[in-house]
A = this chain, B = another copy of it.
Amino acid sequence: MHNSEILLHVTRGALVECLHRGHIAVTDSAGRILASAGNPEVFMFARSSMKPIQALPVLETGAAAAYGFTDAEIAILAASHNGEEFHTATVSSMLDKLGLDEHCLLCGPHAPYHAPSAACLAQAGIEPSELHNNCSGKHAGMLALALHLGADTGTYMDPAHPVQQRMLETVSLLSGYPAAKIVLGTDGCGVPVFGLPLVRLAAAYARLGELSRSPEQQPGRLSAAAKRIISAIAAHPGQLAGTGRYDTRLIEVTQGRLIGKMGAEGVFAVAAPELGLGLALKIEDGAQRAIYPAVTEALVQLGWLTGPESDALSGFHKPVVRNWKGTEVGEILPVFRLRQEG
């Protein structure tokens, strides 16, 4: 964690008021490092960036097909969503198909990330429910997998539960990192999160993209599952995050050519399926404001974004810092150069 590199300056007037340090790894599916910043081997929790990988067993086992999940419902398996009405409706529909209700989601409630949606609830005097939890789609998928495996639905958060064991195996398989060496922690939503070297998160994304373009697309195969999750997210980028969010915009702007997913405490990962490559980022201090400028800059330096695409993301790339009246008082500026390796 210590050999980080300064990625961003936060300016105010003529001064640099804050710095954000971090680590970036760009790899192929074998984990070969092509470009980096800081320490690409830094050991970190992937947090919600692992969700697209965790969606694979729900598809591969046939659980999603058995319950007739639509593409929008498959996309939200991988989401840290805004809790907008279209998100809660999607998860409600999944629970209906499972014959369960929101109290079966063990993620706990929190107010929608989407401020207008949170304000609407508050004005109506409605308490946020588990459906509004940004992880509710993932939890609905875990319930589907538990039912499909004939496992208990009341203990699916336990690391020893068949659902969590399947997810750990899939994370190990995609990342190429031994399951026994993956360090488990507890997420904000209660389920295990996966600790592994940053370079292995990049490799998992590279592998996910590679699998999705594999010619063998037989039902029940991992490649078919990868193809389905990538295509579902590309078709429904709003389900992955929501209005105004970077993850959604990155996919919209690139028309699904890049699939990126944030994680709490300064994590982001990107799959570039056409290139067979992945990128993973960790902001050392965990600041969310630092993620999007750093990722966008890295994507520009790698040539993964066209000029018009990076223009469309400019508000995320070099965001202006404004005061309460909306006057510009500073900006967040990427200051790193990726090291080309290999």
| Contacts from A to B (Cβ < 8 Å) | 1-2, 4, 6, 10, 12-21, 43-45, 106-110, 119, 122-123, 125, 133, 183-190, 193, 195, 265-266, 284-287, 290, 323-327, 329-330
Contacts and interface: CB of A to CB of B under 8 A. Distances in A.
A300 B18 CA distance: 26
Given A119-B122, A122-B122, A133 B324 contact: yes
B186 A323 contact: yes
Nearest to A43: B15
A14 B184 CA distance: 8
A286 B324 contact: no
A14 B183 contact: yes
A43 B1 CA distance: 26
Nearest to A135: B324
Nearest to A124: B123
B18 A284 contact: yes
A284 B1 contact: no
A146 to B, nearest CB: 19
A14 to B, nearest CB: 6
A319 to B, nearest CB: 14
B286 A18 contact: yes
Contact of A190 (B133, B287, B323): B323
16 contacts: A12-B265, A15-B183, A15-B185, A17-B185, A20-B285, A21-B21, A21-B285, A110-B324, A119-B122, A122-B122, A122-B123, A123-B123, A188-B324, A188-B329, A284-B285, A286-B287
Contacts of A6: 2
A86 B117 CA distance: 29
Given A15-B195, A16-B1, A189 B108 contact: no
Nearest to A325: B108
A103 to B, nearest CB: 13
A331 to B, nearest CB: 12
Contacts of A326: 108
Contact of A107 (B4, B324, B329): B324
Contacts of A195: 13-15
B185 A329 contact: yes
B19 A193 contact: no
A324 B109 CA distance: 7
